[in-house]
Amino acid sequence: MASRIRTLEEYHAAYQQAAEHPDMYWGNVAEEFTWRKKWDTVRGGEFSPAGTSTWFEGATLNITENCLDRHLATRANKLAIIFEPNDPKDRHTRLTYRELHEQVCQMANVLLNNGVKKGDRVVIYMPMIPELAVTTLACARIGAVHSVVFAGFSASAIADRVNDAEASFVVTADGLNRGAKQIPVKSVVDDALLTCPSVRGVLVVEHTGWPVQMKEDRDIWFHDEVRNVAKACPAVEMAAEDPLFILYTSGSTGKPKGVVHTQAGYMVWAQYTFQNVFQVEENDIYWCTADIGWVTGHTYLLYGPLLSGSTSLLFEGVPTYPSPGRFWEVIDKHHVSIFYTAPTAIRSLMAAPLDHVLAYSLSSLRVLGSVGEPINEEAWHWYHQHVGKGRCPIVDTWWQTETGGIMISALAGITPSVPARAGLPLPGVQPVLLSQEGTELEGNDQEGYLAIKASWPGVIRTTWGDHERARQVYFQPYPGYYFTGDGARRDEQGLYRIIGRVDDVINVSGHRFGTAEIESAINESPDVVESAVVGYPHDVKGQGIYAYVICRNGLPDNDLDRQRVEGSIIEAVVAHIGRIAKPDKIQLVSGLPKTRSGKIMRRILRKVAEGETSNLGDTTTLLDPLVVEEIVAGKK
């Protein structure tokens, strides 16, 4: 296969060819897929500054024919999905490629019978159960644009996404169990839809059996609908640049934006990166622990593995339930050979007694992966030694919702894997480090803003309903480049080390939040006048959320009052975003450090939150320097 890299020499050759002859290189890779019609041009559009890249323009296809139909001749009885439920006492289930194909077709027919058409947006808010994968693929089968919302976001966050996407249909379930937590997802959706006029129908999958309210003329049970549909459903022919999905992610300003990926480029990038980074073989059992509600779940639980005809494990639960040995138990139980998780999970499991790992053989493991945030050296070594038993290469994969798939990473066992380094760029990815002024920093041993020089098949196409926003955020800051928002270092060997965000985005347990987004949620509390949120180093989460808040009635003078105000702040965040964005520390203050022009000096707030109070830099330009003293004295 043109796309498969198996040695270091092949990597270098592929890298060079993709850089010098991208049309030829990606044209060859694309030959491996099933097309209804081949492309006229491989690469087109204006990458920058207009941000209108196109890939495989003129081609038509359906991604589910590539994920499912094309495997039926040779892999019909191969497992496509292994489902491991939240509670280990419940039975796990398995779906072969033939069964998954049938279920996707049935779900597609249910959607069609309920009026969902090509181009419609469908919001999916579901537990991590096979029906979530099935629904997502069913949308792609009929050309509806899926927008999966992680089932941890609040009703108000769902409503924001539904309204921004003008979704006409929602698919959900009655409830979900995540570890010891229970979430009545259907009733969360009901609350959200009170303010969503575009939604005409809600399909409900029965999962927990909890009672739910069904709204007449809107809500329908999947188990009623599925009885009347066929097990075959023709795939709708899509143009290469038709949208495939919208996935909302946070930026440094405003509301979360709907990142749009399209059919052909995303498909090629998902399969190519999956196969090469993890060095996947036919009999691998692959497990990505991310939820399908995040981009990692989209590309590396669902599309990448299924495009490749691999077996993908889908886990409903959390790493620590019912014990911190759960991940390792599941690996042994299902003979997982490739395991992909987040540093935050590794750090939380490192904190548990080592016996939880030592109790399992983990002998099936071959490759380990990490994603979502920088992996610190201690976690890298623990993962390598205790999980990989010193014999499994670790791939530390750097990428973003906007990049569609992995950009900088070792290829397992082929290119260098060094602790705390993402490593070398994949073929097709041309990273550069820029100075603040936008000049390229040449050579090794350099640090700067990470940007990408040329288009790649998985690049973000637009932000839903607002192309100008995409252009301004990604393509305008440094004309000629895609700007990542990350800072990075290129070491002496040319390996990249990602340092972290250089904008007002914080990365909490591998999840992205804009500080402005959390502040506006906090400000919804009736007790709050103003707030400022910054990130600070957190042992398990990577970054924690530190909120400085000015109260409406001045500083509380007793503990009870303080607790009440803090409670109302947390409540506001849980209501407007979800429990995942709850501040770790709240400091009530009487003022915020502002410049004379009214700008909050976040630099100072960050330093205080990090505990670096001895070196706050110049505070003379502040409107009220005394505020800083108060803040330092009251640090949490």
- Provide the binding-site residues for ligand PRX, judged by CB under 6 A: 249, 295-296, 371-374, 396-401, 422, 484-486, 498, 500-501, 507, 512
Q: At its nearest, how many Å lie between ligand PRX and the CB of residue 442?
A: 23
Which residue, 147 or 249, is less far from ligand PRX as judged by CB? 249
Please give the full DSSP string across 200-228, using - where no structure is assigned: -EEEEE-SS-------TTTEEEHHHHGGG
Which residue, 163 or 376, is less far from ligand PRX as judged by CB? 376
Which residue, 158 or 295, is less far from ligand PRX as judged by CB? 295
Centre a 10 Å sphere on the Cβ of residue 77 and count the other Cβ atoms it contains.
10
Which residue, 175 or 535, is less far from ligand PRX as judged by CB? 535
Q: At its nearest, how many Å lie between ligand PRX and the CB of residue 425?
A: 13
Q: At its nearest, how many Å lie between ligand PRX and the CB of residue 358?
A: 27
Centre a 10 Å sphere on the Cβ of residue 75 and count the other Cβ atoms it contains.
18
Which residue, 357 or 498, is less far from ligand PRX as judged by CB? 498
Name the residue with tokens 């809500």: 219
Burial class (CB in 10 A: 0-12, 13-18, 19+), 557: exposed
Instruction: Round to whole Å and give the CA distance between 67 and 133.
Output: 12
Which residue, 420 or 616, is less far from ligand PRX as judged by CB? 420
Q: At its nearest, how many Å lie between ligand PRX and the CB of residue 610?
A: 18
Instruction: Round to whole Å and give the CA distance between 430 and 528.
Output: 46
Which residue, 398 or 449, is less far from ligand PRX as judged by CB? 398
Q: At its nearest, how many Å lie between ligand PRX and the CB of residue 475?
A: 16
Instruction: Round to whole Å and give the CA distance between 327 and 170.
Output: 31
Q: At its nearest, how many Å lie between ligand PRX and the CB of residue 609?
A: 18
Instruction: Round to whole Å and give the CA distance between 172 and 293.
Output: 13
Side-chain-facing half-sphere of 566: CA atoms under 13 Å: 18
Contact 514, 250 (CB under 8 A): yes
Which residue, 190 or 291, is less far from ligand PRX as judged by CB? 291
Instruction: Round to whole Å and give the CA distance between 406 and 397.
Output: 6
Q: At its nearest, how many Å lie between ligand PRX and the CB of residue 380?
A: 11
Please give the full DSSP string across 309-364, using - where no structure is assigned: T-EEEEE-S-TTSS-TTHHHHHHHHHT--EEEE-HHHHHHHHTS-THHHHTS--TT
Q: At its nearest, how many Å lie between ligand PRX and the CB of residue 547?
A: 21
Q: At its nearest, how many Å lie between ligand PRX and the CB of residue 64?
A: 23
Which residue, 141 or 421, is less far from ligand PRX as judged by CB? 421
Q: At its nearest, how many Å lie between ligand PRX and the CB of residue 286?
A: 17
Beta bridge partners of 288: 340
In whole angstroms, how far apart are CA 244 and each of 94, 120, 621?
26, 11, 49
Instruction: Round to whole Å and give the CA distance between 98 and 83.
Output: 16
In 3D space, the residue among 146, 138, 141 whose CA is nearest the CA of residue 120 turns out to be 146
What's the distance, Cα to Cα, between the start and end of the chain in Å?
56
Sheet holding 338-341, edge to edge: 93-96, 79-84, 311-315, 285-288, 338-341, 367-371, 394-397
In whole angstroms, how far apart are CA 271 and each of 264, 300, 458, 595, 624?
11, 9, 11, 50, 55
Name the residue with tokens 């492309």: 39
Which residue, 220 or 499, is less far from ligand PRX as judged by CB? 499
Instruction: Round to whole Å and give the CA distance between 18 and 333.
Output: 40
Which residue, 14 or 247, is less far from ligand PRX as judged by CB? 247
Q: At its nearest, how many Å lie between ligand PRX and the CB of residue 259?
A: 8
Which residue, 261 or 501, is less far from ligand PRX as judged by CB? 501
Instruction: Round to whole Å and give the CA distance between 124 and 110.
Output: 15
Q: At its nearest, how many Å lie between ligand PRX and the CB of residue 441?
A: 19
Q: At its nearest, how many Å lie between ligand PRX and the CB of residue 367?
A: 15
Please, what is the angle between helix 130-142 and helix 97-113, to 10°? 60
Q: At its nearest, how many Å lie between ligand PRX and the CB of residue 272?
A: 16
Which residue, 80 or 288, is less far from ligand PRX as judged by CB? 288
In 3D space, the residue among 519, 529, 583 whose CA is nearest the CA of residue 551 turns out to be 529
Which residue, 71 or 501, is less far from ligand PRX as judged by CB? 501
Q: At its nearest, how many Å lie between ligand PRX and the CB of residue 33?
A: 23
Which residue, 219 or 291, is less far from ligand PRX as judged by CB? 291
- E strand intervals along 394-504: 394-397, 431-434, 446-452, 462-463, 482-490, 496-501
- 367-371 and 338-341 as β-strands: parallel, antiparallel, unpaired? parallel
Which residue, 44 or 485, is less far from ligand PRX as judged by CB? 485
Please give the full DSSP string across 526-558, using - where no structure is assigned: TTEEEEEEEEEEETTTEEEEEEEEEETT-S-SS
Centre a 10 Å sphere on the Cβ of residue 69 and count the other Cβ atoms it contains.
17
Q: At its nearest, how many Å lie between ligand PRX and the CB of residue 484?
A: 6
